[in-house]
Structure 1
Amino acid sequence: MLKRLKEKSNDEKIRNTMNKRISFIFGIIVFIFAIIVLRLGYLQIAQGSHYKQMIKNSENLTVNEAVPRGRILDRNGKVLVDNASKKAITYARGRKTTPSEVLDIAKDLSKLIKMDTKKITERDKQDYWIQLHPNQAKELMKKEQTLLDDGSISQEDYDETLYKKIGKKQIDTLNSKDLQILAIYREMMSGSSLDPQTIKNEDVTDEEYAAVSQKLKELPGVNTTMDWDRKYPYGDTLRGIFGDVSTTEEGIPKELTEKYLAKGYSRNDRVGKSYLEYQYDDILKGKKKEMKYTTDKSGDVIDSKVISHGSRGDDLVLSIDVDLQKKTEEYLEKQISKLRSEGAKDMDNALMVVQNPNNGDILAMAGKQIDKNGNLTDYDIGTFTAQFAVGSSVKGGTLLAGYQNNAIKVGEEMIDQPLKFAGGLTKRSYFNQDGKVRINDKEALMHSSNVYMFKTALKLAGSPYTPNMSLPTDISDAGQKLRKGLNQVGLGVKTGIDLPNETNGQIEPLTDNPGNYLDLSIGQYDTYTPMQLSQYVSTIGNNGYRVQPHVGLEVRKATNKDTLGPVKEKFKGNVLNKVNNTPQQISEVQEGFKMAFNEKDGTGYQSFRNTEVPSAGKTGTAEVFQDGKPRVNSTYIGYAPIKNPKLAFSIVYTNQPVPEPWLNGGDLGRDVINYYFKEKSKD
């Protein structure tokens, strides 16, 4: 019995001990739980509004950082425009960073880098002096401050007076060290908050780049990165056609602000300003890097995260063949030199366009402006922005207009002779000054008969030629019909080339000026661009289809390597219209073009009689004036081979001497044809 009581007593002791331990542990758990509940209550009730305000004050802002532009390549994949990387130092100002805080960073940064101070303006120096000497500035303006306080003057008047009082005496107190700080400070303050601004990206030394990189933690908002500039592996070749990109300092040019801002650009973005860079900016600009900055209630950045790493712009492949382009330029300069040596001392422009007549691909476009000393300036853009009187080259278009309006028929013969009108006016052909020659339409093109075109124009006006007749007084309807025919082949209308600033030439009204109407029929009234001439001769060569010319060929997706990515988009030459002529009528003009280049009496025979493949075309001479003195513009248009042409061209030389002697510039077209069908065929 005693033994059982003893055992029971031991069990109770053990049980009591366990119960105490469990109670202790449970008490600790309850205590911890109570602390947690109290803490949560404190945070939610007592501090809830505080943390809500912190969340409200913490804003997520997305800021874009620029990336390199896409490359521009020729049709064979040769890089024409690329990017050259360079070191850069940037600064992104916090939303509530004060000017004095920015100035402190600028002072620290001035110990690490050296700046060019040439961009500092007088106003920059005045503003900086005010910031350095606020008390002295107030002392200068005691009287004005009183007037400002009582409303006698405006803040604008106050500021204007202050700047007038801060003159050379005050500015000269700024030493070279101050100017270094100011040069940095003005760049840091140039943009909006959290938008990275370039402080220095020219001639950043390795030592400067390393020194700043090591001090980034002590320079809030400052960063070291890589910037880029456009580089041109082929030098000045097509440099004008490529156009320009704005600098980091320039950002969006003022005249383009509205256009680019509407597309979502930032004001400090580097954008295409002209020609191809402008035309294809959406493709070349790339996708910018996106950073997400989180700021606290003070506006200080407390966290940042990369949302998108971005990518450089897509590559633009051109229809241009850079080897052909270089050869065209070489032959053009050679021809200029030859013509000047033969007497063309006043020639001031020489331009050429080479294209595929079937699809509108521009293969080469070269232009030179020539000064009195024979110095050459690139003028490639003149092939579509400058217009000239082009002379007899247009006569194929005149015949097509005559056919369209039933003024003449295919194969129709006429007598080429001096035309005499009432009042003593006489019009004649250059090849036949005094005689009578029976010719048909093809021969009219071969000989470049003015008379045949005049008679065609008079028939179009409903007044066939008779000796000593009066010219028709109202030629508005006839002028419209003739121009409509010329428009159909591309003369007098924009070609639609994918480059800005194209002109459609100078097209003056035609109502009661019949002399000008007759001149229009031989290319002596309206003016045209070399690009229009190229489109026109291509329309003849491809059996009557006016095709839109283009220099953009395709877009290739950007890659991380120098290789071309997959094709994203292709550009094709759209057919703008089909001429309103029968195949027989078009063939008749083609035959006349063939004769002009291949028959002994043809105006282009001297240069084109023996090209690598048979060619066809037309020549022209327009009477013009330069500084009040008579000159001529010489033009050549053509295509090759005669059947199923693969290449078409136009050439314009302006202000050559009045014949005689006759200066032949057609060898340029011959050389390009021979190179293309001989040398390029080897490739």
Structure 2
Amino acid sequence: MQSPNRHGGGRARRQSMSRIPARLNILMGIVVLMLGILGWRLGTLQITDSAQYKQAVKSADTSIEKANVQRGVIYDSSGKALVSNQGEQAITYTKPRNVTEQELYTVANEVGKYVTIKTDRLSDHNYANYYVLNKRHAKRVAKLSQTEAAPGTDAYAADLTNYVERHQAKFPLSASERNQAMLFQKMVNAYALSTIYLKEEDVSQEEIASIGERQAKMPGVRVGLYYKRESPSDTDAMASIIGSVSTSTAGLPENSVHQLLTKGYSRDDSVGTTFLEAQYQDALKGTKKEIEVKSNAQGESTEKTLYPGQPGSDLHLTINAKFQADVQDILKKNIPGGHTQGAYAVVLNPNTGGVYAMGGVNRLASGKLQDDAMATINRAEVVGSVVKPAMITNAMLNGTISPSNSVLTDQPIQVAGTAPKSSWFNRNGEQSIPLTASDALMVSSNSYVMQLMLKMAGKPYSKDMSLANLGSGIFQTMREGFNRFGLGVDTGIDLPGEVTGIRGSTSPDHYGNALDESFGQYDTYTTMQLAQYVATIANGGYRVRPHVVQSIKQHAKDNDDTTPLETTVNTQVLGTVGWTPAERNVIWEGMRKVVHGKSPFVTGSMLKGVKPAVYAKTGTAETTTDQASTLTYSLVSFVPDADVAMAIVVPGVSETTSTVNQTIAQQIYEAYWKDVESKSNVKDN
């Protein structure tokens, strides 16, 4: 029998359950109603009111645009402008933040009616993209390509563009259409809010007037200025030092485009691509002008300058352009014929490292001469006996000899497994004479420095001795000594592309080359390294960094009376030799004797007539050029207690012109005292 309570409880549950579906129905109805309202509103926003809201966005559009400024000017040490800027009228385009390809197409077509540009860089993709933006063209391409994508979709546009790109010959563009397509390519490739050049060269007054009168139909298109680098014709000798700047047409250099883009550059910005223009890009480029542009619903815009921009800073060089040109002419005039590969010279201030001139001439395979000042830092040669002052200094620093105990007898060196090696004046031992360190420099004794090397290695010379157990450590000892002066290491010059030269092998089968290393016949060095080396000797033992920029001066703004900020490049000491005054005097005395000594075997006597008097060390290295035996002639020189030192290298010369290094040095000194400094400022020693 069922309990009354249980019966009553079941009735209550049935009543409760009957009420739940009613609540759910009401809730579901509310949800459906809300979804319907939301769907209607979305439809209204996307379809009915789409144009209105787009226009509202545009009507309140505010953007910050950037405009280029003048690049810094480069001056020589006398204040002569070597490269400046020539402002030319140009047609520019600033891409809005929200713009469609169809809108760009319309603007490009309008601009193309009045502006003609080169079309040789029109890409196949942009050709096709431009072509199918024409609705009539698009229908024809759709029919031929049999695309299944719905018109107006991205897939539809992609199919048509790809088809035209693959079958371009079927869809020709007229000359005027190609012109418009090129303008379209420039616009579509620009970044939002960036300003690019549509045309920067040979812009006619008619084109400028046409753009100015119709700017309402060409949003973003304006008449602006394009700054082109310009150099006087009498500064051609500086071209290979100053370098080049990219054009807006070529765009950013391919090897650094991504890096520059991350720094805020536009693809068509002009940047330094080589040498000084590249090395000092950050200083020369300046800071772009910033303009706030507001657009209203009617397409009208107003501009407000937020920042006037800062022109690039000016570079003031240590190089004297007149002297540089004279050095180039001297090298060209004196470079020997035959297999001679080039002639190179560096003249600098040994106390500050400031470079007065760095001249270079290459002989091409055709025989034509080519200016190449940068070869003084990126071309290394075996240079011969000019390294002997460093070698003798190293021996003194290592205790092998001393200023008061340095006598060794010059004699041919014969070791097992190695051909006899001797000094140029003592091939057969007939001139075997005792030499002090300074006398060894005077007569350029190979035997003397080879014997020093063996003593430094702990194996004093004896005839027919073996070098099998010499060890590679002696190479390191010699190279460390050379490095103190700047030989075989970076000089630190403020130019890109410097090389340090090639170091020969130190394996056991090359132990015999330690003899060659001692007199400069193994490792290779650049002319700039030789210049830093002789500067270190001249200034008392301080290795200073060579530099071609003396100061960086902020460009003065118009109507600004404040003194522009100027940064001077200070002398930078990279290291010291660590010798005593007595040890330094051994080297100075030896280099004095090279020019003014009494021995019949002095090697620099041609420089004896140069005034003020110079100290020097000549060098000769045996080389092979085009399978012919040749010689590389070198020379390092300085004027005691003065501000000038010099290095010269002439590779691939025949023996008949063995004094070419001294001839060049004579003429360069004459030019220096004429172009740079007066002789009256220097006491003759």
Shorter chain as denominator, the TM-score bin is 0.7 to 0.9
Aligned to 2:271: 271
Residues 464-514 of structure 1, C-alpha deviations (whole Å, 9 max, x = no match): 001111125243222111111100011011000011111111123424222
Aligned to 1:647: 644
The count of corresponding residues between Structure 1 and Structure 2 is 617
Root-mean-square deviation over aligned CA pairs: 2.9
Aligned to 1:552: 549
Cα distance in 2 between the residues matched to 1:293 and 1:184: 23
Aligned to 1:286: 286
TM superposition shift of 1:565: 6.3
Please state whether the residue corresponding to 1:622 is helix, strand or coil: strand
Q: Which amino acid is 1:494 matched to?
A: D
TM superposition shift of 1:183: 2.6
Aligned to 2:75: 73
Residues 602 and 272 (structure 1 numbering): CA distance in 2 closer, same or farther, change over 3 Å?
farther
Query: Unpaired runs of 5+ in structure 2?
Result: 1-51, 680-685
Please state whether the residue corresponding to 1:354 is helix, strand or coil: strand
Written as runs of structure 1 = structure 2, the 5 A alignment for 1:50-69 is 58=60, 60-69=62-71
Residues 621-644 of structure 1, C-alpha deviations (whole Å, 9 max, x = no match): 11112233321111011011x2x1
Native 8 Å contact 2:75 2:315 kept in 1: yes
Percent sequence identity is: 32
Native 8 Å contact 1:557 1:564 kept in 2: no
The answer to whether structure 1 residue 109 and structure 2 residue 111 are counterparts is: yes
TM-score after normalising by structure 1:
0.85
Q: Which amino acid is 2:294 matched to?
A: T
Q: Return the match for 2:535 from 513, 535, 538.
A: 538
Aligned to 2:254: 254
Aligned to 1:363: 356
Cα distance in 2 between the residues matched to 1:106 and 1:561: 36
Q: Return the match for 1:136 from 119, 140, 145.
A: 140
Residues 218 and 59 (structure 1 numbering): CA distance in 2 closer, same or farther, change over 3 Å?
closer
Please state whether the residue corresponding to 1:286 is helix, strand or coil: coil
Q: Return the match for 2:423 from 424, 429, 447.
A: 429
Cα distance in 2 between the residues matched to 1:561 and 1:515: 68
Native 8 Å contact 2:376 2:528 kept in 1: yes
Aligned to 2:198: 199
The answer to whether structure 1 residue 499 and structure 2 residue 492 are counterparts is: no
Cα distance in 2 between the residues matched to 1:628 and 1:155: 65
TM superposition shift of 1:95: 2.3
Cα distance in 1 between the residues matched to 2:66 and 2:227: 16
Native 8 Å contact 2:318 2:354 kept in 1: yes
TM superposition shift of 1:258: 4.5
Residues 533-585 of structure 1, C-alpha deviations (whole Å, 9 max, x = no match): 00000101111110010111101121247999645100022011110221111
Residues 375 and 155 (structure 1 numbering): CA distance in 2 closer, same or farther, change over 3 Å?
same
The answer to whether structure 1 residue 596 and structure 2 residue 600 are counterparts is: no
Cα distance in 1 between the residues matched to 2:365 and 2:121: 37
Written as runs of structure 1 = structure 2, the 5 A alignment for 1:15-30 is none
TM-score after normalising by structure 2:
0.84
Residues 613-660 of structure 1, C-alpha deviations (whole Å, 9 max, x = no match): 0001111111112233321111011011x2x13101111111112x35
TM superposition shift of 1:409: 1.9
Please state whether the residue corresponding to 1:666 is helix, strand or coil: helix
Aligned to 1:230: 229
Q: Return the match for 1:529 from 519, 526, 529.
A: 526
Native 8 Å contact 1:89 1:199 kept in 2: yes
Native 8 Å contact 1:140 1:165 kept in 2: no
Aligned to 1:482: 478
Aligned to 2:18: none
Which is worse superposed, 246-255 or 68-77? 246-255
Aligned to 1:166: 167
Aligned to 2:45: none
Cα distance in 1 between the residues matched to 2:659 and 2:528: 23
Residues 355-414 of structure 1, C-alpha deviations (whole Å, 9 max, x = no match): 000110001011011135531111111111111111111111100111111112225111
Q: Which amino acid is 1:185 matched to?
A: F
Native 8 Å contact 1:597 1:616 kept in 2: yes
Please state whether the residue corresponding to 1:254 is helix, strand or coil: coil
TM superposition shift of 1:113: 2.2
Cα distance in 2 between the residues matched to 1:500 and 1:105: 43
Residues 56 and 127 (structure 1 numbering): CA distance in 2 closer, same or farther, change over 3 Å?
closer
TM superposition shift of 1:606: 3.9
Which is worse superposed, 458-467 or 604-613? 604-613
Residues 681 and 579 (structure 1 numbering): CA distance in 2 closer, same or farther, change over 3 Å?
closer
Q: Which amino acid is 1:278 matched to?
A: A
Q: Return the match for 1:98 from 91, 100, 107.
A: 100
Query: Unpaired runs of 5+ in structure 1?
Result: 1-49
Written as runs of structure 1 = structure 2, the 5 A alignment for 1:307-346 is 307-336=306-335, 339-340=336-337, 345-346=338-339
Q: Which amino acid is 1:137 matched to?
A: V
Aligned to 1:21: none
TM superposition shift of 1:431: 1.9
Native 8 Å contact 2:411 2:426 kept in 1: yes
Aligned to 1:182: 181
Please state whether the residue corresponding to 1:525 is helix, strand or coil: coil
Native 8 Å contact 1:325 1:364 kept in 2: yes
Cα distance in 2 between the residues matched to 1:315 and 1:665: 36
Please state whether the residue corresponding to 2:381 is helix, strand or coil: coil
Cα distance in 1 between the residues matched to 2:391 and 2:540: 16
Cα distance in 1 between the residues matched to 2:224 and 2:532: 47
Residues 275-315 of structure 1, C-alpha deviations (whole Å, 9 max, x = no match): 211111111111211012335799x6744321012131111
Residues 602 and 360 (structure 1 numbering): CA distance in 2 closer, same or farther, change over 3 Å?
farther
Please state whether the residue corresponding to 1:493 is helix, strand or coil: coil
Native 8 Å contact 1:455 1:464 kept in 2: yes
Aligned to 2:577: 579
Q: Which amino acid is 1:64 matched to?
A: K
Aligned to 1:85: 87
TM superposition shift of 1:98: 2.3
Residues 664 and 165 (structure 1 numbering): CA distance in 2 closer, same or farther, change over 3 Å?
closer
Which is worse superposed, 247-256 or 545-554? 247-256
Please state whether the residue corresponding to 2:256 is helix, strand or coil: helix
Cα distance in 2 between the residues matched to 1:119 and 1:158: 23
Native 8 Å contact 1:293 1:301 kept in 2: no
Native 8 Å contact 1:554 1:567 kept in 2: no
Aligned to 1:471: 467
Please state whether the residue corresponding to 1:237 is helix, strand or coil: helix
Please state whether the residue corresponding to 1:464 is helix, strand or coil: coil
Residues 258 and 201 (structure 1 numbering): CA distance in 2 closer, same or farther, change over 3 Å?
closer
Q: Return the match for 2:385 from 376, 388, 392.
A: 392
Which is worse superposed, 84-93 or 392-401? 84-93
Q: Which amino acid is 1:400 matched to?
A: T
Residues 333 and 645 (structure 1 numbering): CA distance in 2 closer, same or farther, change over 3 Å?
same
Q: Which amino acid is 1:427 matched to?
A: K
Q: Which amino acid is 2:109 matched to?
A: K
Cα distance in 2 between the residues matched to 1:474 and 1:665: 35
Please state whether the residue corresponding to 1:184 is helix, strand or coil: helix
Cα distance in 2 between the residues matched to 1:261 and 1:602: 62
TM superposition shift of 1:181: 1.8
Please state whether the residue corresponding to 1:189 is helix, strand or coil: helix
